[in-house]
Chains A and B, each alone.
Chain A
Amino acid sequence: MNTEIIFTIAGIGILISILGIVLKQAQKEEQAQMLTLAGVVVVLILVVQLLSQLFTVVRTVFNL
């Protein structure tokens, strides 16, 4: 069971929310927005790989 990805995503999420708070306090709203966007993209890349694995496995098991 590769549980690392869950902890990776949770870590990225917590880090990004803290950095976003810091940037917002420093009156850098645009940078905070960009940071959120970058974080979502990075996490999405991780999850899309996992999803493609899931779809392949479902296709082989159920002969779809």
Chain B
Amino acid sequence: MEIAQIVGLGLVATIFLLIIRQEKPVLAVVLSLAFVTVIFLFVIDKLSTIVGVITELSHRAEANYFFLGTVLKILGVAYLAEFGAAICRDSGEVAVAKKVEFGAKIIIAVLALPIMIAILESLMEIMPR
């Protein structure tokens, strides 16, 4: 019944946020940051198990680990960027949130570049001259 813990903690945090936001909006932002972090640290064990299983499956299928590693890196970058951007947007700083997302997009594009090159190279091998 871990979902009950998460939902309960979320409701309690919402009530606290509503009370604190009236007087001190800065502390409300910090509290929501702490809540998000606590929830993520709570589920990260399971996420790590899932990632381990996927890695094991790719090893068993003898797939190239480089591609899976890139996909996992992109997942991590996307998660962190979403985390930061959501906090910024919650506090009303939409411009900052947009820039965080923009930076994440650029970093993801750079990470995905080797995969694109690999696809193009295999395409050139298949295509008749």
Contacts and interface: CB of A to CB of B under 8 A. Distances in A.
B27 A47 contact: no
A14 B23 CA distance: 9
Interface residues of A, number: 33
Contacts of A39: 24, 27
Contacts of B34: 5-6, 9, 46-47, 50
B67 interface: no
Interface string A31-48: 000001001100110110
B96 interface: no
A44 B26 CA distance: 10
Sort chain B's interface into a size bin. Answer: 35 or more
Given A50-B37, A53-B41, A54-B41, A64 B24 contact: no
Given A14-B19, A14-B20, A61 B35 contact: no
A61 B47 contact: yes
B102 interface: no
B80 interface: yes
Nearest to A8: B34
Nearest to A58: B76
Interface of B: 5, 9, 12-13, 16, 19-20, 22-24, 26-28, 30-31, 33-35, 37-38, 40-42, 44, 47-48, 51, 69, 72-73, 75-77, 79-80
Given A6-B13, A9-B30, A62-B76, 13 more contacts: A1-B41, A5-B38, A6-B9, A6-B35, A40-B30, A43-B27, A50-B37, A50-B38, A54-B41, A61-B51, A62-B72, A62-B79, A63-B69
